[in-house]
Structure 1
Amino acid sequence: MTTTLIGKPVTRVDGRAKVTGAARYAADFNQHAQLYAVIVSATTGLGRVTALDEAPVRAMPGVVEIISHLNAPRLAYGPHKAFIDPEVGERLHVLQDAQVRFYGQPVAVVVADTLDRAERAANALRISYAAERPVVDPRDPKAQAVEPSGSRGHSHAARGDADRALADAPVKVDVTYDMARENHNPMEPHAVVAAWDGDRLTLWSKSQFVVNEQAEIAAIFGLPLQNVRVICPFIGGAFGTSLRTWPHVTLAAIAARQVGRPIKLVLNRRQMFFTTGHRPRTLQRVAIGATRDGRITSIIHEGNGETSRYEEFTEALLSATSYMYSCPNVRTSYRLTPLDIGTPNHMRGPGESSGMFALESALDELSYALGIDPIELRRRNEPTIDEGENKPFSSRSLVQCYERGAERFGWSRRTPAPRSMRDGRLLVGMGVASATYPVWYLPTSARVRLHPDGTAAVEVAASDMGPGTYTSMTQVAAETLGIPVEQVRVSIGRSDFPPAPPHGGSMTMASVGSAVRAACLAARDEVTRRAIADQRSPVFGAALEGVEWIGGNVRRLGDASAGQPYRDILASSGQPIEAHASNFRDPEAAQRYSMHSFGAVFAEVAIDPDVSTIRVRRALGAYGAGRIVNPLLASSQCTGGMIGGIGMALMEQTALDARDGRPVNAHMADYLMPVNLDIGQLEALFVDEDDPHVNALGVKGLGEIALVGMAPAIANAIHHATGKRVRHLPIRIEDVLTA
């Protein structure tokens, strides 16, 4: 396909707005006469509220209202579940009863005329509890694992007889892995401004899924869908934390209705560890059996994820195990442990990043047991089809990713033995791991308006949390219409625009981009029809199929002239053209093919043998992700995901106090994340991949897969450097001190 803009490194069209402060985020939409709300969070991990000492707080300057279960309205909480919501259970009904289900649950909200006064009042509110001791650790003797009861759990899957094959295998590994709970910590905290106009509610809210937030709040308040409007043009990072609609949005709407004025509510950093989800802690067992020449004969992968007691959160922890490597005997088993915690949530690379850490670490262990290079072991077990689904891949470039990545990274310079590589006094290790993520593609609609001045306006209820949605959609529209990017204006982030799926799961480019393209094609067809009907047009009277669109011009097929610019066609009538269309994919394609992105991730670490400090000096990811719309944005996406993988491998862990479930490091001093000084040389490269089956644009998505293989690559590099195998994340200095 000949392209002019798709595939080009176009700089961000919204870049200037972001760096100059013109871009408006949720908390920037201040309203006339607004008040400020601050949540009061429970300080016990389980129990009941028995009393609130409100009188002293109501007497404080500027305090307008205190809302708790004692005076909050009884809300409808009508049924509503998007596919991102837990299938089983019921969302938290905020301020509807005295029950405390987890530490940090909202138990009151204080409204005042300034933020400072609201914060002071919230801190002064004294609440008494009948407290019980919660269970917050899946290894607690009181914790009981259960089978997922919904259809999404995929609790058990098997082919062949994995247990017998493992027992018979001449070489085997059988190990367990423990991956810590992590919390999303984007730059922009959760925020919402709520304003009522009669029975109509407008929410300027940080959301990755505005049409779902509209539907959720409408269901909670028992409102018609059209009575709720959600606006979110920009998101300052999210990583999944804003996919669901969390209780603070409901609280802001309650407060705004109760006091009769607009309300701004912004969570502080500490509160974001309580009520907006987290990556669940997982415990996994991986057992792999193989022949002495490295042919895998058995894979057993058992996983256990934490969930809340009031909802059943499941994720694709074990999904990749069935198709990653060729093996006749595979058994997976997924269970959940309900705990007295808030419901976990999808976090970048959900499920796959945790499951692939265990699988790729175990495969590395097997490579050492066999004495086979880790890449060669993967090559020997490369499948020709998806053996779990028994159907071909739409495209799979994992071997090419390893080949290109190994050459670029210099894998041939690696010596196999642990502790065999040094740089002066530093121990050096190289590790590798595979990455994968499914291709998601969901129904999306878009609207395109062509104006007589030659400009085009695109509207769709998508979001942009940083990857460049404005830019990539501008490229798709400009190329399809044959006009410069400067003549395209993309508007997103409003629930009254044509509906779009969540901005997550690496589905935005595939789903939204395909819809934008379809709408632009529909607009082109309407322009052509108008030209055919215009006696002054050079294509007057032609059949629709006898006219072609070239670079924004309409001409007859076979005509060598430049053709008639579409702006001239519209100018003759003075009326814009509006087209509305939805994306489309052959409905049988997903049934015929297994659709996934793949990648190979390489990492080099340097470890000080005296104090065991660990530094990722360089890393490289090679990805087969279909068509790359904008290599500049794609590279940025991948390096950002790799940085997240460094945090997962070496730093991020939310520690809970077993006595009450309190996150003891719910602040940026002790919840460690990578900063600039932690980042070495990072590089992303892309394998050419033409996949006509996934969608009209041939794209697969990059946001999730960029994180998936990084943590196991680092863990494997640490083993190569030190000879010590650490089977939990994060890996800290104390884990390798004795290496």
Structure 2
Amino acid sequence: MSVKFAETEQTTGTKYVGRAVDRIDGPAKTTGEAKFAAEYPYPGMAYAALVHATIPRGRITAIDTAAARAVRGVIDVLTHENAPPMKPAPKVSFLDLSSLASGTSVNYLATDEVHWNGQPVAVVVAETPETARYAASLVRPAYQELPAAVDFAAEEPNAVPQKGNLLAEAAADKGDAQGALAAAPHSVDLTFTTPPHTHNAIEPHATTAVWDGDRLTLHEGTQNMPWLRKHLAQRFGVPEKSIRVLAPYVGGGFGGKGSVWAGTLLAVLAARATGRPVRLALTRESVYHTVGGRTPSTQRVALGADAEGRLSALIHTSVSRTGRVGGMPENITGGSRHLYAAPNIHLRQSTVQLDLLSNTFMRAPGESIGTFALESAVDELAWELGMDPVELRMRNEPERDPVGGQRFAHRMLREAYALGAERFGWRERDPRPGAMRDGRWLVGMGVATAYHPSMRMTASVTIRLSADGTVVVRCGMHEIGVGAATVQAQIAADELGVPLESVRVESGDSDLPPGPGAGGSMQTASVAAGVLDACAKLKRTVLGLARRAPGSPLRGRKPADLEARDGGLYHGGRGQTYAEILAAAGRDHVEAAVKGNMLGFMVQTLRDRRKWVKAASGAQFCEVRVDPDTFEVRISRWLGVFDVGRVINARTAASQLRGGIVMGIGMALSEQTLIDHRTGRIMNPSLAEYHVPVHADIPHIDVHYLDDADPTMPLGLRGVGEVGITGVAAAVANAVRHATGKRVLDLPITLDKLV
């Protein structure tokens, strides 16, 4: 992989921001020193395993636990007949964002109702994990089965219009899109489908729960400690302050660890019921049964254009699903709201409820599958017009937001496409389908636009500067494998003018000042804003100490006059080190804290949304080779050029963008959760049958970014975690269309769809 590394000292005037800095958590992870949720020892540890329902909907009429209880080493078997009660899950409200943490509304083991095939109906607690799993296999529930709706395609006609919310709108109308489509001299009108997808993080969900009276210590791989903590306090009737969540390392999340699922709740419940520390590490199959994934979708995209390729109509509608006991609709048409300058636009999102496990956030929810449909349709329109697909996109690049009319805070898609086309050799593309070959292989080249909104939340941050020159940044943020602590250390080092190695970042503990969740590509920007404010406050405090010292060269200076460098504050060639200032003041350290103001932040965010559209974007270029006899598809080359604002760490940003592309390749070619339309059973609940990309599937990936700051975001940065997956599936489909002449409308692109 090649990456454009910023020449930071020349272009930005900083010492660390923009550099390809090694991750500070790298040594701990590569040596095994880093501990994850299932690796903390406690005396008297017990182990739990789940028993899953085998029907999609109904009631438990009896549950035979005798054989399980008879197994040596079994401590208890908890069912709806004997489990201590939990309080119900709070209702979802956008006035309390923590209510979004409820993976489902089911009050586990407090009801005999079954809501999906795989719902936990019992928990076995034993002395060893092997004993727990074996005993769980001996539990025998009996059911009264009730009619269930589990077939998405069959239930699609029952979909109802989705309601908008504060985070995303579900509909838009501008002009007369239907009339403009009918009158357009050139048009395409296509229906796309995408399957459900399941989370497969390297670290399966795991919980270690320890009660001490009414105090709970929880080791949990979570992406949102504040939400989890509040949720558990509500469910178990204890104060938030009596719960400590520890998540220093999370072995992958992608949205699947942003909500509270059955495994966490039942581990905490089992620990309270048995009076023992309890560990519940889900098997891969249990993850499929109890942790939500991506919704399937059906989408219609219709485009009308004149002979020059200027759009006259853009229609994008979608149907997705939620569970009858929970799940959030996805912003599938979000990209269509912002990407193309059409005078007539019609957007609608609808949902249908099924008797399946609730869907949940999964890397770029909505945009990942929405851009597949939109960008495939744009490519097909290019074929209809006989126009280069890059030229068609640039001809319809808007100056302002097409629906709302707001200004773009920062948008460099033209520059991304120009650089990408040059570096990828787009001019060498023969526009005729099936005309390019490499030996016997058909060669195709495709492009698509990447797009993901840029957001941020509040973060509370404390920074401590000691007389020995060390700096400690404290924030309850999350390290889910992205280098979160590394980038904040880089920012603090630059702001305070100290060596990077003197900065330590404390995170992953709910006792720390609360940070945002690691989701929505907003953690870095959110925490960076807090770090910048805390550093500024700290420097003002240090300057105040210096001013009071007789003979200090900083007396009479204002904060704006000073430069933080060489471990101190300077004006021109005169100044003092922090050690000198603190020694003169008789202090061994100074500290500054900033506290996030959620109400004020939300008000400002709503104001900003009326003024700006903020998003990361990019151009995805893909080359495929297709066997003309077997229709095997191999991706041979990839280039992504991204406008993600200012990049803080060249290495970790490129890794995130590349990871998104890899995940998008899986979505394009192999990933799908197969559901039995009679029983609602997941038929491929393992990595042996659910096919994610492996090394042999991934080509050389060339990643570039423009590294131009967004003036409306902290340090000019935008999130990079999710934009990389958007547009990927479409770029693959468009390359396959070029190679074979066949347009695949249904993901994944498997051999049977090309024969």
TM-score of the two chains, using structure 1 as the length reference: 0.96
- For residues 412 and 283 of structure 1, the distance between their equivalents in structure 2, rounded to whole angstroms, comes to 34
2:199 to 178, 181, 184: 184
Q: Residue deviations 1:167-187, cap 9 Å, x none?
A: 111111011000010011010
Higher alpha-carbon deviation: 548-557 or 105-114? 548-557
CA distance in 2, matches of 1:201, 1:143: 46
Which runs of structure 2 are paired with 1:590-669 in the superposition (5 Å)? 590-669=609-688
**Between 583-592 and 491-500, the greater mean CA deviation after superposition:** 583-592
Contact 1:524 1:549 (C-alpha < 8 Å) held by counterparts = no
Of residues 356-365 and 49-58 in structure 1, the stretch that sits farther from structure 2 once superposed is 49-58
Q: Deviation digits for residues 551-584 of structure 1, max 9, x if unmatched?
A: 1554564x523x2110232345243212111579
State yes or no: 1:560 paired with 2:567: no
Indicate yes or no: 2:436 matched with 1:444: no
Give the Cα separation in 1 of the matches to 2:57 and 2:514: 39
Would the aligned equivalents of 1:105 and 1:274 in 2 still touch at CA under 8 Å?
yes
Q: Tell whether the 8 Å contact from 1:542 to 1:556 is kept in structure 2 after alignment.
A: no
Residues 238-282 of structure 1 show CA distances to partners (whole Å, capped at 9, x for unaligned) of 111001111211111110011101100011000111221101001
Return the alpha-carbon distance in structure 2 between the equivalents of residues 725 and 389 of structure 1. Answer: 32
1-structure distance, mates of 2:294, 2:87: 29
Aligned to 1:700: 718
The one-letter code sitting in structure 2 at the alignment partner of 1:579 is A
- 1:294-373 matches, within 5 Å, as 294-373=309-388
Contact 2:101 2:228 (C-alpha < 8 Å) held by counterparts: no
Measure the CA separation in 2 of the matches of 1:490 and 1:155.
Answer: 39
Number of paired residues? 733
1:546–1:409: structure 2 CA closer, same or farther, 3 Å change rule? closer
What SS does the corresponding residue of 1:274 show, helix, strand or coil?
A: helix
Cα separation, partners in 2 of 1:378 and 1:149, compared to 1, 3 Å: closer
Following superposition of structure 1 onto structure 2, how do residues 142-221 of structure 1 map, counting pairs within 5 Å? 144-149=158-163, 151=165, 154-221=169-236
d(CA) in 1 for partners of 2:727 and 2:61? 48
Change (3 A) 1:8 1:583: farther
Aligned residue for 1:9?
20
Q: Which amino acid aligns with 1:128?
A: A
- The AA in structure 2 aligned to 1:679 is I
Residue in 2 aligned with 1:48? 59
Residues 532-547 of structure 1 aligned to structure 2 (within 5 Å): 532-535=547-550, 537-539=552-554, 541-545=555-559
Give the SS at the match of 2:137: helix
Identify the residue that residue 46 of structure 2 maps to in structure 1.
Answer: 35
The aligned residue for residue 565 of structure 2 is 551
SS in 2 for 1:181: coil
User: Out of 410, 422, 434, which is 2:449 matched to?
Assistant: 434
Give, in whole Å, the separation in 2 of the partners of 1:354 and 1:610.
29
- Once the two structures are TM-superposed, the CA of residue 156 in structure 1 deviates from its matched residue by 2.4
Contact 2:564 2:570 in 1 (8 A): no
Q: Which moved more, 1:142-151 or 1:179-188?
A: 142-151
How far the C-alpha of 1:312 sits from its partner, in A, is 4.8
Comparing 502-511 with 311-320, which one deviates more in the overlay? Answer: 311-320
Q: Give the direction of change, closer, same or farther, for the CA distance of 1:503–1:470 in structure 2 (3 Å limit).
A: same
Offset of 1:498 from its aligned partner? 1.3
Task: Tell me the residue number matched to 1:723.
Answer: 741
Residues 164 and 300 of structure 1, relative CA distance in 2, 3 Å threshold? same
Q: Tell me the distance in 1 between the aligned counterparts of 2:124 and 2:395.
A: 62
Say whether residues 1:105 and 2:123 are aligned partners.
no
Match of 1:134 in 2: 148
Read off the aligned partner of 1:131 and give its amino acid letter: E
Q: Which amino acid aligns with 2:577?
A: P
* Contact 1:462/1:502, CA 8 A, preserved across alignment: yes
Opposite residue 202 of structure 1, the aligned amino acid is: T
Contact 2:101/2:259 (CA < 8 Å) preserved in 1? no
Corresponding position: 1:24 with 2:35: yes
In 1, the alpha carbon distance for the partners of 2:416 and 2:286 equals 41
Q: Does 1:266 align with 2:277?
A: no
2:156 and 2:526 mapped to 1: Cα distance?
A: 44
Give unmatched runs, 5+ long, in structure 1. Answer: none
Partner of residue 498, structure 1: 513
Q: Quick one: which of 116, 121, 127 aligns to 2:130?
A: 116
**Contact 2:89–2:106 under 8 Å retained in 1:** no
Aligned residue for 1:685? 704
Q: Provide the secondary structure at the position in 2 that maps to 1:436.
A: strand
Whether the aligned pair in 2 keeps the contact of 1:165 and 1:289 (CA below 8 Å) is: yes
Distance across 2 between alignment mates of 1:552 and 1:97: 63
Equivalent position amino acid for 2:591 in 1: E
CA distance in 1, matches of 2:641, 2:475: 32
CA offset at residue 495 of structure 1? 1.2
1:283 maps onto 2:298 in alignment: yes
Query: For residues 141 and 240 of structure 2, what CA distance do their matches in structure 1 show?
Result: 36
Partner of 2:239: 224
- For the residue of structure 1 that corresponds to 2:417, the secondary structure is helix
Displacement of 1:589: 4.1
**Change over 3 Å in CA distance of 1:83–1:715 after alignment to 2:** farther
C-alpha distance in 1, partners of 2:588/2:88?
Answer: 45
CA 1:158–1:567 in 2, change beyond 3 Å: closer, same or farther? same
Return the alpha-carbon distance in structure 1 between the equivalents of residues 440 and 705 of structure 2.
35
Cα RMSD between the aligned structures?
Answer: 1.8
CA contact (8 A) 1:47 1:132 kept: yes
Say if 1:415 and 1:421, in contact at 8 Å, map to a contact too.
Answer: yes
- Distance in 2 of aligned mates of 1:678 and 1:405: 22
- Cα 1:138/1:86, change in 2 over 3 Å: farther
TM-superposed deviation, 1:191: 0.4
Q: Indicate how the Cα distance of structure 1 residues 685 and 342 shifts in structure 2: closer, same or farther if over 3 A, else same.
A: same
What is the distance in 1 between the residues matched to 2:254 and 2:409?
27
Identity %: 40
Aligned partners of 1:215, 1:574: CA distance in 2, in Å? 37
The 3 A distance-change label for structure 1 pair 583 and 111 is: closer
Give 1:72's aligned residue.
83
Q: Which moved more, 1:163-172 or 1:579-588?
A: 579-588
Q: Structure 1 pair 302/514, CA: closer, same or farther in 2 (3 Å)?
A: same
Structure-2-length-normalised TM-score:
0.94
Please state how far the C-alpha of 1:87 moved relative to its aligned partner.
Answer: 10
- Structure-2 residue corresponding to 1:712: 730
Cα distance in 2, alignment partners of residues 143 and 112 from structure 1: 47
Which moved further from structure 2: 516-525 or 427-436? 516-525
Paired amino acid for 2:580: D
Alpha-carbon deviation of 1:231? 0.7
The alpha-carbon deviation at position 90 of structure 1 amounts to 6.4
Could you tell me how far 1:150 is from its partner in structure 2? 5.8
Distance in 1, Cα, partners of 2:89 & 2:387: 57
Three-state SS of the structure 2 residue aligned to 1:64 is: strand
1:288 match: secondary structure: strand
Supply the AA of the counterpart residue of 1:57: A
Which residue, 501, 507, 517 being the options, matches 2:532? 517
Instruction: Find the aligned partners of 1:545 and 1:13 in 2 and give their Cα distance.
Output: 31
Structure 2's unaligned 5+ residue stretches are 1-11
Give the match's secondary structure for 1:602.
Answer: strand
Q: Which residue of 1 aligns with 2:498?
A: 483
1:620-670 C-alpha deviation (Å, 9 max, x unpaired): 110001001111111111111110011000000000011211110001111
Q: For the structure 1 residues 552 and 218, does the alpha-carbon distance in structure 2 shift closer, same or farther, using more than 3 Å as the test?
A: farther
Q: Distance in 2 between matches of 1:48 and 1:575?
A: 65
Residues 39, 109 of structure 1: 8 Å contact kept? yes
Q: Tell me the CA shift for residue 590 of structure 1.
A: 3.9
Amino acid paired to 1:157: A
Q: Over residues 31-57 of structure 1, what are the superposed CA-to-partner deviations in whole Å (9 max), with x where a residue is unaligned?
A: 121100111111111111111111221
Matched, 1:735 2:735: no
